Structure 1
Amino acid sequence: MHARVEPPGELLRHARGRGGVVSRGEASAAGVGRHSIARLVRDGRWVPLGRGLYLTDGRPSWSTWAWAGVRVAGEGSLVGGSAAGHLHQLVDPPEVVDVWVPARPLPRSGDRWRFRLDVEGRRPAPGALPLLSLEDAVLDLAGEVGELDTIDLVHKAMRRTSPGRLRRSMDSRSRVARRSLLASLLEDAVEGVESPLEALYRTKVERAHRLPAASRQHHSVGNRRDVVYLDHGVVVELDGVRWHQERRLRDMRRDNAHQLRGEVTLRYGWHDTFGRACLVAVQVATVLRQRGWTAPFRRCRQCPAP
């Protein structure tokens, strides 16, 4: 009967501060040799993670593999890509954890990790886990997802950062995917655009067809309107969620109040704004013309032939 192996408390406390992950070298330095490690693994108390790493408590979770990835990559490495996006509550957890590494040689990637060379000097977020900053995570993800997802990412990020901080991170990089779209979204955020649907309307309807600039998140008589063309008395409301009865009644009352003030309200959702942006632009322009707008309407490249 062999005596029970008891790892030093200091080693276990050290591991808890690193997601429960400890390396073979750290264990050896604390007096836990290879035979003791083998006994801990055989007894089910430590779980081998590969590459000389062990989980000292419980079963491996997704965050365990994120911690293990930066331990494999070494000093200065950072969790990045969709993994960083997930940890910043922007996207779902990926199966493979991306890890940015500051210098070669890169560790060999595998089923759990993908190691990538960081030549841009990405910055870490505060916290124990070496992780990309929220701003750098958004910039990385913009190169991996589509236009609509990029819009959604930026607006999620704006709940926890500012346009200025994201802009400074973008300016510090020599290469940024979708740079012009990101710059436009940040400009929109400064001017009051608060949702992906509003950003889509601003880009695909208003700017693409040279409609006049509108006031956004405009407060009037206890109501906040999404888009208001103040000089022409035209209101555009953008509804990104399915209506419930209570919301429908509230919006009807608001539209009636607009009408009593001599304003016209147009209302659009995702299907119209994304899939029929040119038709929406024609409708808005027609109402604006009826109310005195005289500037030329521009047909965009997606507009159907006249």
Structure 2
Amino acid sequence: MATHPAIPDRLMELARAQAGVLLWDQIRHCGLSERTVHRLVHDGFWTRLARGVYLTHCLAPDWLSLAWAGYFVAGDEAAIGGQAALKLAHIIDDADLPIPIVLPHTSPHRVSTSWWSFTRTRVPFRTMGDLPRLRTERAIIDLCAADPDRSAHWVTLAAGSRKASVQRMREELDAMPQCAARRQLSELLADAGTGIHSPLELVYLRDVERAHGMAPGRRQVRSGSYIRDVYYDEGLIVELDGRTGHEGVGAFRDMDRDNYHTMQGRPTLRYGWEQCHGTPCRTFREVAEMRHSLGWTGDIKRCRRCR
């Protein structure tokens, strides 16, 4: 059986901080010779992931190890981008391979693999984190530009996470004048700035309130220890249930919140995707009628979909 060569403690501490991945320059700086590294790989103690990039065990690399390795392959000016950046920011739980890695346009070309997708950009970017990643706002705008049909999902997810600023997303968009979906994104960010935190809340704003000429209610209003999705000054509360966060323990939390509001004398209407997207006109009429019963004097207007 092969004997494991001695590894300096400071090198293993560095490896633990980098998901088990080390760069050759780091290894050499800690006094380990090229011959020793070759032996570690040959005897199956370490794994070579790329030229000059090593995994300090023989198991399959996990996602985070591959992210570190991809950054080392790309170089110091690179950043983890796309959904991978959101995973590192703890906004989403999963991100697929290949891991997107962004480089300045002046960087040497890198060949993409099944593990990493390298992209060069002329738009300057800033990084954050020990494993450098794009700022959340830049990653969101990049995702929206790549797939405009998913823009509402990404923007509202970021806004709802409270880990991204709508204003900074606007600034990132302003720095990308060639963005094909610029107008759509500008309108979306304007709506997100009113407190929209989910695609369902966006549909309610656009198809239920705005389409029928109803002034929007206030968003994300605190009531005791609860947050109301939409609150109208007459005392009506509208809760929007897109299922995510409204199942299991979340469902009981919804019950507690509704009961609390009822005890406070504030009626609550609850709507989901079918009511807001499928039958927005009926939903508007219900909201308008309830507001009228509470003293609202606004008009009920017809939209192009009303029958």
User: Could you state the TM-score of these two structures normalised by the residue count of structure 2?
Assistant: 0.77
Is the Cα contact below 8 Å between 1:223 and 1:254 reproduced in 2?
Answer: no
1:71 CA drift (Å): 1.0
CA distance in 2, matches of 1:28, 1:221: 58
1:188 CA drift (Å): 1.4
Q: After TM superposition, list the pairs within 5 Å mapping 1:1-306 onto structure 2.
A: 5-8=5-8, 11-24=11-24, 27=27, 30=31, 32-33=33-34, 35-57=35-57, 59=59, 60-91=61-92, 92-102=94-104, 103-125=106-128, 127-143=129-145, 144=147, 146-158=150-162, 160-176=163-179, 177=181, 178-189=184-195, 193=196, 196-218=199-221, 225-230=228-233, 234-240=236-242, 241-242=246-247, 244=251, 247-248=254-255, 251=258, 254-255=261-262, 258=265, 265-288=268-291, 293-295=297-299, 297-300=301-304, 303=305, 306=307
Q: 1:28 to 1:73 in 2, by over 3 A?
A: same
1:141 CA drift (Å): 2.6
1:112 CA drift (Å): 0.3
1:81 CA drift (Å): 0.8
Question: What are structure 1's unaligned runs of at least 5 residues?
Answer: none
Question: What are structure 2's unaligned runs of at least 5 residues?
Answer: none
Is the Cα contact below 8 Å between 1:20 and 1:64 reproduced in 2?
Answer: yes
DSSP 3-state at the match of 1:110: coil
Give the letter aligned to residue 251 of structure 1.
D
CA distance in 2, matches of 1:146, 1:122: 22
CA distance in 1, matches of 2:100, 2:225: 47
Cα distance per residue 1:251-286 (max 9 Å; x no partner):
25734754xxxx765331233223332332243345
CA distance in 2, matches of 1:68, 1:4: 23
Is the Cα contact below 8 Å between 2:201 and 2:240 reproduced in 1?
Answer: yes
1:146 CA drift (Å): 1.8
CA distance in 2, matches of 1:58, 1:44: 6
Is the Cα contact below 8 Å between 1:226 and 1:237 reproduced in 2?
Answer: yes
Give the letter aligned to residue 201 of structure 2.
E
Q: Which moved more, 1:87-96 or 1:17-26?
A: 17-26
CA distance in 1, matches of 2:229, 2:8: 60
Is the Cα contact below 8 Å between 1:46 and 1:57 reproduced in 2?
Answer: yes
The share of aligned pairs that are identical, in percent, is 32
1:94 CA drift (Å): 1.3
Q: 1:210 to 1:38 in 2, by over 3 A?
A: same
DSSP 3-state at the match of 2:133: coil
1:66 CA drift (Å): 0.4
Give the letter aligned to residue 114 of structure 1.
S
CA distance in 2, matches of 1:133, 1:154: 11
1:224 CA drift (Å): 6.2
Larger Rg: 1
Give the letter aligned to residue 117 of structure 1.
R
1:117 CA drift (Å): 0.8
CA distance in 2, matches of 1:137, 1:111: 21
User: Could you state the TM-score of these two structures normalised by the residue count of structure 1?
Assistant: 0.77
CA distance in 2, matches of 1:168, 1:214: 27
Cα distance per residue 1:157-192 (max 9 Å; x no partner):
32x343333333333333554413441243212xxx
